[in-house]
Structure 1
Amino acid sequence: MTPGHQQPLKLPDELAHIIAAFTPSNPSDDRSKAYLVLSAFCQGVRQSNSSQQSDGIDPATRALVKVFSPFILQRLEETNENDVIVGASFLTALFQVDWQAAASIFQQETVLELIIDSVELKPSIQLSVQVAHLLGQASGYKPSRLAFSPEAITWLEHARNSKDSALRAAAAIAAIKLAKGSVADASTDPLSPNNDSKSTNVDGLAQVMKELVIGNDSDTSSLADAVEGLAYMSIDPTVKEDISRDTILLKRLFSLVPKRKSGGAPDSSSTILYGILVIITNICSYRPQLTEEQKQMEKLRKMAKNSGTETADVLEKDDKVKGRVKRVVGAGAMEVIALAASQTDTVGVRVSIGTALLDIVTDKENRGKVLQHGGAKILMGLIKKATSPHATKGNNTPLDIVHLQPIHALAKLAITASPVQVFGPNVGAIYDAIRPLSVMIQHSSATQLQRFEGLMALTNLASASPDTASRIAGSEGLLNKVEMLSLDDHPMIQRAAVELICNLVVGSDQIFEKYATSKTKLQIFVALSDAEDIGTRLASSGALATLLSSPSACNELLSLQLDRHRVLPVLTQLIDPSVIPGEEAESHPGLVHRGVVCARQFMLGISEKENREQMCKEAKEAGLVDALSNVVQDKKTDLEAVGVALEVLKYLGNSRHK
């Protein structure tokens, strides 16, 4: 039956059986199928009720509550324990499938009262564990957190001290989520007092979670709760530092990763896997780079806090994070990530893997280990799943910002080693990397660091082969973006953009011809050859030296010199700045070599006598002759540059006497 607007929504007879399908006594396969059926039904209701919400509740949520609430209340009102377990387990499952509907039911006046009464009147372990799981799910969402009563919180406190490991774990994770969620609620509500006392309720819970993980060999349900609890608590700097130093705990955690792909339902194995990945991600997480305004706000925040927060701030410094990453990688984190990537296809797992790998490869020392464990292949798999054939087109790409993280991690790997070492001998893998790197550079939300390292990665790839360079040059919208970035205010981005263009000029005949015949583009190279940044000058003058092997480029540059008279002074500056009045900079070997090659290509490429004579005159006036003479006389200059300089001097001398 398809739910609609014209008649009251009812739960189909064939679906009524799933109300009792989520109890722990049912086989795992049956629960998995029930999750799929429940999810499909809820999605169908939401698709059929897509109108605007009213009274703060959307029509789909209201419809689902109307259907499920009577069934749940009917079970919770019974005195039979099995009925209560059915009602509580179904509401727990509904939180995992459609939390809005579940939270609305949980907030109803009698629901929580019935639940707490049931465990106070019939406190069996099975029922208590199921109620603790339900409270744990409800603790994850603000609307249902607000419905928690003092009696529910008191019961959780008692359950945390139970001798039963499953109940202790389930109650502890509920307490953690409730405490952290309550603090988050207070921080986002300007009218709510910042009650730090709630956060102290979780003191010692990390140790409880650790003991449950290390000492539990059979109960996968309590293990899943303990891992989830550690995942929540590993956000705290002191906890993540402690976990990273606990070799026994890490070894145990990593051994829990399932060795085969789990089913579609949110069972214990998938929960454990995701929890372990979140722990790795949190431990390896670096502090985000702050803007100047954010830095000032951070200073004010620290001033307002007490001195007890200083320890946490110290533990979040880059050197501390670097140490944590090294310890976790040494304990086998990459094996866990590789295994998870091969067997799981959920968005949450993919995002966690991409985030963790980005933080891991931030330290260059870890990149070799990441490559050894197939890191580039893992990242390419994540990127492929995050995009579709029509997903990216220039700056209008719909790619989520979070999916830039695996691309950024791939860029860091591509910078580190040769393309073959990163992607293997299959050139197809190199070609596949071009598009996502191009997308990241052009993405409107990309950071300066992402653009810079994306440019560097493509520069490295462009050196792999002429075909690779041509493919990079042909990537949609990329070249225009790179040309804009070559004029960027940030010197590092400008340098990286010019270096990429230089490699494309060398590697691609199409790009060579495009730039060699453009006076405007040659003028930009001349200007950038006089930039303040040495790297930019090296790349620009290198591209200029390559382009001037073309007669077309020589003619365009001659026209530029005749119009603006800036070409020869710039070449002189490259070769020997000391001959220019007021210039105190010293010669740079790389710039000297590029300068003399540019001078040779340019001067010898002039065919008409009148132009030759004019250029010889302007070369003398610009100080080029003196600069070349100094190169010949300087014993430190390499012999190749001396030979080229002599050739230019001979040409200038002969041209003056012709």
Structure 2
Amino acid sequence: MSQPSMTTEIHGVLDALIRRCSSQNKPSEVSISSEELSCLRNAFLPSQSPHTRAKSFVALSAFCQAVRNSKQPSAEPVAEHLAKVFSSNVQDGLADTKEDDVLSSISFLVALFQVDASSASIIFREDGVITSLMDAIDICPSDNVALEVAHTFSQACGHKTCREALPTDAVQWLRTIASQTKNSALRAAAAVALVKLSRGALSDSDSSKIVETQIDSKEQMDLVDIMKGMTISGNDLSVLSDAIEGLVYMSAEPAVKEILSQDPSFWKQFFSYIPKRKINDPPTSIPSSIIYGIVTVALNVCAYKPRVTEEETQMLKLRKLANAGKMTEAQDNPLDDDSHVRARCKLLVEVGLVGALSAIVKVTDSQGVRTGIGCTILYLVEEKENRGKVLQEGGAKALSVIIRTRMTEARKDKARNAKHLALDPPDLQAIQALAKLAITSAPFQVFGPGEAVLYDAIRPLTQLVLHPSANLLQRFEGMMALTNLSSANAEVASRIAAADGLLNKVELFLLEEHKLVRRAAMELICNLLAGSDDLFKRYSESSSKLHVLVALSDVSDVPTRLAASGGLAQLTASPVACVKLLALQKERHRLLQIFVQLISPTSDSNGEQGTDQARRGLVHRGVVCVRNFLTSLGGETIKDLSSEIVAAQLPKALVTVAQEYRNTNNAPVLVPAAEALKLLLDCGVEVSV
């Protein structure tokens, strides 16, 4: 078998393979020669340069993809076909006695797991492969071979079928290697394999395998200390990658989350591996797996338990009963309750996590990494106290970059769905995090100076309300953020009101049973009425929309009443709207009573939210509504309505307000109240003082 040994020969063969697979005109003829297989296998040797190994990954991936593209539906499954192509090459190398041949075969299998795990799993489970791997440790007793075997087991332990095939002696070997202290790289690789094996076995159906591979709490903490130590020392990138991979798996454990969160020196060193280059600088030499690992560990430590509905809670109980006989990890660990998560998030904010995540956004285009960053920041801003620090350290800017990139990509795919951008549900997490920041801070603090950035924020926040996969909390926070954004200026409000499909959705939420969602919808509409002439006109001319606002001015929730009556106070400035309201009064005979309930000092019986400030707000809106309404009606109509006006006790309510506020110099209340009283007196309506 020809085995090119020179680097130039290897690169030449790899380049030719990549070109052929990338420009394959006849997919059915995809093939690879024995020389190319041998060359590809040798290219993965640990002694090869990073550049050569990187190119070999590209070549292997290109070939596997070309095979996938060439397979017909009736043909042999791709994984089985690839396994047949590579199996003999791997097995021949393992059967050799030369260390380089053994090492190249094992390294190739490790790489194949990363490129096409399905075919690698098939080869791993073939007769004699695991035995050959264990024999290789004795036949070629070198650290290099042992390290690659450990890496192979580590990759295999990520897959259920391979875990089930792993014999007891292999597990024991991993335990022995993980406990030695002479070779840190070997120790890290074995530790990662054990962690994957233990955590994976918990989800497997074979309970005997769980017992066999389970790591006790002391062993787990020892492994955590090993990983932390290797991460802090960081002398070797390959060791660092293994250590961080181990922490990725172990940081899903509540006890490990607590330990990591309380070690600021660990995080400072952890963050030091993030490249400091600018976007246009040459690519970093730090492996992407390290960047991914940093984000994933932070995400795990900061993660809140999923919020579940009552129905989902019942389903979880049933699932627990069904799994009662299995050794599964307790799901209600107190270290994962909200108070512990809040404390961990606060600690990580203090050690500079937001700045680290912002730096990562600048150095990677990986959608997976950026999605993880968006989710992590979402957890951090769950607590309002963290939001100021998140803004200071560039969290909003990082979120904006993530969102803008995804929106651009989604816009290209919009042809698949005419109504909604092709955003995936995880994309909404970054938007939700930005919405939380926009709810509690001024728009310019979140989005920056200038109107253009405010306009850019409208589209993603609108998607948070409209997206089919958005949950009720996301829709609620999207509306809240848009309400705050609309307060920036009239043009922003007009653009929000004109967003395709938004108002129809928001108006549906006015009928929502959930009090806070209904309130958010009403507050958004109230703000938009103040800035959008088109929306103002639409509401002024619609009896049904005015009827909804009148009804919501009479609900028990004071903030909703404030928003609805605020909208009415604006709309009653329109004669057209007042004609519609007059018709409503004649039909239902409730409008004047609702106005009185707004302005009467005794009308606010809601002790939960009925603060003095809220009551004054209702009075102000009520007297403006009455003044505008009466002014628009004119004298003759007021005289016709006089009996209903008196029956509703409107004059008495206005007099009471005037008396209560006469010594306060509160012109916004006193002036419209006085003007309304004068209109009644001029029309001969009896007013009792």
TM over 0.5: yes
Aligned partners of 2:329 and 2:82: how far apart in 1? 45
> What CA deviation, in whole Å up to 9, does each residue of 1:508-546 have, x standing for no partner?
111111111111111111011111211111001001101
1:41 has 2:67 as partner: no
Match of residue 198 from structure 1? 214
Deviations 1:114-168, CA, capped at 9 Å, x for gaps: 1111013322101111111111111112222222111211211121123200100
1:616 aligns with 2:614: no
What is the match of residue 250 of structure 1?
267
Query: What is the correspondence of 1:107-118 to structure 2 with a 5 Å cutoff?
Result: 107-118=125-136
1:51 corresponds to which of 56, 67, 73: 73
Which residue of 447, 452, 467 corresponds with 1:423? 447
* Partner-residue secondary structure (3-state), 2:641: helix
Matched, 1:542 2:566: yes
Q: Using the alignment, how far apart are the partners of 1:506 and 1:470 within structure 2?
A: 9
Match status 1:138 vs 2:166: no
Distance 1:422 1:156, change over 3 A: same
For the 8 Å contact 2:458–2:482, the answer to whether it is kept is yes
Q: Deviations over 1:227-264 (max 9, x none)?
A: 11112111111111011111222222122223349999
Matches within 5 A, 1:555-570: 555-570=579-594
* C-alpha contact (below 8 Å) 1:579/1:626 kept by paired residues: no
Residues 485-511 of structure 1, C-alpha deviations (whole Å, 9 max, x = no match) = 121111101110111111111011111
Distance 2:278 2:90 in 1: 33
CA distance 1:192–1:157, shift in 2 (3 Å): closer
CA–CA distance in 1 between the matches of 2:656 and 2:568? 22
Letter of the 2:643 counterpart: K
What is the rounded CA distance, in whole Å, between the counterparts of 1:266 and 1:89 in structure 2?
Answer: 24
Aligned to 1:170: 189
- What residue in structure 2 maps to residue 373 of structure 1? 393
Counterpart of 2:624 (choices 597, 603, 613) is: 597
Q: Deviation per CA, 1:345-400, whole angstroms, max 9, x where unpaired?
A: 11221121011110111111221222122222211221223332245668655421
Is residue 199 of structure 2 the alignment partner of residue 180 of structure 1?
Answer: yes
Change (3 A) 1:352 1:579: closer
How far does the alpha carbon of each residue in 1:542-578 deviate from its partner, in whole angstroms, 9 at most, with x for none? Answer: 0110111111111111122122222111111111174
Q: How does 1:204-243 map to 2 (within 5 A)?
A: 204-214=222-232, 216-243=233-260
**Structure 1, unaligned stretches of length 5 or more?**
none
> Which of 165, 177, 181 does residue 159 from structure 1 map onto?
177
Matching residue of 2:540: 516
Q: 1:18 offset after TM fit, Å?
A: 2.1
CA distance in 2 between partners of 1:44 and 1:541 (Å): 65
Structure 2 unaligned segments of length 5 or more: list them: 1-19
Specify whether residues 340 and 491 from structure 1 end up closer, same or farther in structure 2 by C-alpha distance, changes over 3 A only. Answer: same
> After the TM superposition, which residues 520-535 of structure 1 pair with which residues of structure 2 at under 5 Å, given as runs?
520-535=544-559
1:385 to 384, 405, 413: 405
- 1:292-338 CA distances to partner (integer Å, 9 max, x unpaired)? 234456678599799x9899722112121111111112112122111
CA contact (8 A) 1:32 1:265 kept: no
Query: Which residue is equivalent to 2:371?
Result: 351
Aligned with 1:249: secondary structure? helix
- What secondary structure does 2:528 align onto? helix
Quote the Cα distance in structure 2 between the aligned partners of 1:80 and 1:583.
85
Match of 1:339 among 352, 359, 365: 359
The one of 610, 632, 644 equivalent to 2:658 is 632
TM-score, normalised by the number of residues in structure 2: 0.88
Is contact 1:579-1:627 (8 Å) kept?
Answer: no
Q: For residues 71 and 260 of structure 1, do their structure 2 counterparts lie closer, same or farther at Cα, with a shift above 3 Å needed? A: farther
Give the corresponding residue for 1:25: 47
State the one-letter code of the partner of 2:263.
Answer: D
Instruction: Return 229-238 or 39-48, whichever deviates more.
Output: 39-48
Q: Aligned partner of 1:600: which letter? A: R
| Cα separation, 1, equivalents of 2:433 and 2:604 | 45
Taking only the aligned residue pairs, the percentage that are identical comes to: 43
Q: Of the candidates 627, 644, 656, which is equivalent to residue 672 of structure 2?
A: 644
Residue 578 (structure 2) aligns with: 554
Aligned length: 648
Q: Does the Cα contact within 8 Å between 1:430 and 1:461 map onto a contact in 2?
A: yes
Do 1:434 and 1:472's aligned partners in 2 also have CA atoms closer than 8 Å? Answer: yes
Shift of 1:478: 0.7
Structure 1 570/195 Cα, relative in aligned 2: closer, same or farther at 3 Å? Answer: farther
Question: CA 1:389–1:627 in 2, change beyond 3 Å: closer, same or farther?
Answer: same
Other structure's SS at 1:235 match: coil
| Structure 2 Cα separation of the partners of residues 8 and 269 of structure 1 | 31
| Structure 1 residue 204, shift from structure 2 partner | 2.1
Please list the CA deviations of residues 14-36 of structure 1 after superposition, one character each: whole Å capped at 9, or x if unmatched.
57522221221111111112212
What is the CA–CA distance in structure 1 between the aligned matches of 2:329 and 2:201, rounded to whole Å?
19
Distance change in 2, residues 1:527/1:192 (3 Å): farther
Provide the rounded CA distance (Å) in 2 between the counterparts of 1:266 and 1:151. 40
Q: Secondary structure at the match of 1:439?
A: helix
Cα 1:82–1:524, aligned 2, differ >3 Å: closer, same or farther?
same
| CA–CA separation in structure 2 for the residues paired with 1:10 and 1:449 | 53
Q: Distance in 2 between matches of 1:261 and 1:134?
A: 36
Cα distance change on mapping 1:490 and 1:474 into 2, 3 Å: same
